[in-house]
Amino acid sequence: MRIFTAVIAIAAGILILGGYFFPALAGVQTLLLNWAIILAGAAALAGIFNLVSVHSEKIRHQEKGSMYSALLLIALVVTFLFAMILRPGHAAMKIILSGIIIPVEAALMGLLTVSLLYAAMRLLRRRADLMSLVFLITAVLLILGSATLPFGNMPVLGSFLRPWIAQILALGGARGILIGVALGTLTTGLRVLFGADRPYGGN
């Protein structure tokens, strides 16, 4: 069975990769990708069942935080029922999305400001080295350079230093990191493509 799944996965991978280079394989590539999208939709349902089973178990065993699990399940069931009865495009569903989900996520984003400030303050205590110092000084210079003042940008910082750091130093560093990530992605993909790593069906 494992060999069978590996053969299917490797063949599908090679056909999809081939589709990018050989026009004759483009049709097969599109077909396989469409199947993958349908399977991803089915996986979303499996993911929701997983979420429900984990939190139901928590409630059943009255584990720590089971109150939140109960709230989550009630919200999930109510939203699901509403969406089934009213359909996802209904105005009430849009209110749930734009009145609850988006503001909550925006609030979490707001919390990040405090978390990041706190993390930056403790950085030197956690790791007092040259790179931490460079990180902090760069962050402070960029924040000061971006500050909006009544008389306009900060002289030198806003007009010269901030663009220079952001466009030359940071951009160069970011491209270097992204090239490294791309090379890592390439070799990881090749390992999966040739069956050395098999996250499907185990190895």
Partner 1 sequence: MTGLIIILASAILLFGISLSKRKSPASLREIPALTRLYRTLGLSIEDGTRLHVSLGSGSLLDARGGSALAGLAMLRQIAERTSASDKPSIASAGDPTLGLLTQDTLQAGYQAAGVEELYAPTSGRVTGLSPFGYAAGAANILQNENVSANIIIGHFGPEAALLAEASDRENMVLIGASDELSGQAVLFANTQDALIGEELFAAGAYLGAGASHTASLTVQDILRWLVILALAGGAAAKFIGVI
Q: Is 127 in the site for partner 1 (CB under 8 A)?
A: yes
Q: Which of 30, 115, 146, 167 binds partner 1 (CB under 8 A)?
A: 115
* Whether the Cβ atoms of residue 5 and residue 200 lie closer than 8 Å to each other: yes
The contact mask relative to partner 1 for 154-193 (x = CB under 8 A, - = no) is: --------------------x-xxxxxx-xxxxxxxxxxx
* Whether the Cβ atoms of residue 17 and residue 193 lie closer than 8 Å to each other: yes
Nearer to partner 1, 72 or 144 (CB): 72
Helices (H), 61-101: 66-86, 91-96
Q: Which stretch binds partner 1 (CB under 8 A): 63-71, 87-95, 147-155, 156-164?
A: 63-71
Nearer to partner 1, 14 or 156 (CB): 14
Dihedral sign computed on CA atoms, order 107, 113, 116, 117 = negative
Which 10-39 residues touch partner 1, going by CB under 8 A? 17, 20-21, 33, 36-37, 39
Q: How far is CA 126 from CA 116, 117, 121, 132, 202, in A?
A: 14, 14, 10, 9, 38
Q: Is 103 in the site for partner 1 (CB under 8 A)?
A: no
Q: Is 126 in the site for partner 1 (CB under 8 A)?
A: yes
Q: Which of 77, 116, 140, 149 binds partner 1 (CB under 8 A)?
A: 116
Nearer to partner 1, 95 or 181 (CB): 181
φ, ψ of residue 149 to 5 degrees: the values are -110, 160
Q: How far is CA 163 from CA 50, 93, 140, 175, 176, in A?
A: 47, 44, 14, 17, 19
Q: How far is CA 182 from CA 7, 185, 195, 197, 203, in A?
A: 26, 5, 20, 18, 25
Nearer to partner 1, 11 or 183 (CB): 183
Residue type, 66: S
Distance CA 90, CA 94 (A): 7
What is the binding site for partner 1 (CB under 8 A)? 17, 20-21, 33, 36-37, 39-40, 43-48, 50-51, 53-54, 57, 63-65, 68, 101, 104-105, 108-109, 111-112, 115-116, 118-120, 123, 126-127, 135, 174, 176-181, 183-194, 196-203
